[in-house]
Amino acid sequence: MSAPQETTGQAGTNRPADEPMDTASAVAQLRVLVCGLGAGLLVVSFALTAFVYKQNRNILSNTTLRQRQINQLQMSETALGNLVNELVKYSAGKPELMAIFAKHGMEIHPPAATPPTPPPAKH
């Protein structure tokens, strides 16, 4: 192969490999590269924005759901407190139930024995 190697340029012209590129085609290639990178950056930016928007929407819906659950628990707190107090009073003399309370980390002290109130005096 005695002929010099030739490359095909962007415009389809043949030129030797050691010949420098002219300024106009170099600027055109640079312009295409910069526009491509800018378009890629826009696509990535839109994708990231959509992802963050979706995640924020999911977090907001989870927060709303948890707030609703907290409100429901707060409304039933007094009823559950009364139930637990009655259960503690009922289980005060029963060691099996006290063991269950202890197993779940609830330290229950039996209420102090109150003397029975005498019946009202009859006149």
Question: pTM for this one?
Answer: 0.46
Give the DSSP H/E element, type plus range, for residue 76. Answer: none
Q: Are residues 70 and 27 in the same domain?
A: yes
Same domain, 47 and 64: yes
Residues 55 and 99 in one domain: no
CA 80 to CA 119: how far, in whole Å?
A: 33
Q: How many CB atoms lie within 10 A of CB 69?
A: 10
Q: What is the pLDDT of residues 22-77, one digit of tens each?
A: 999 999 999 999 999 999 999 999 999 999 999 999 999 999 999 999 999 888 98
Q: Which of 51, 55, 52 is nearest to 63 (CA)?
A: 55
In-domain check, residue 82: yes
Does residue 64 share a domain with residue 36? Answer: yes
Number of domains in the chain: 2
Instruction: Residue 70: give the domain boundaries.
Output: 23-75
60 and 89 within one domain: no
> 7 — phi, psi (to 5°)?
-115, 155
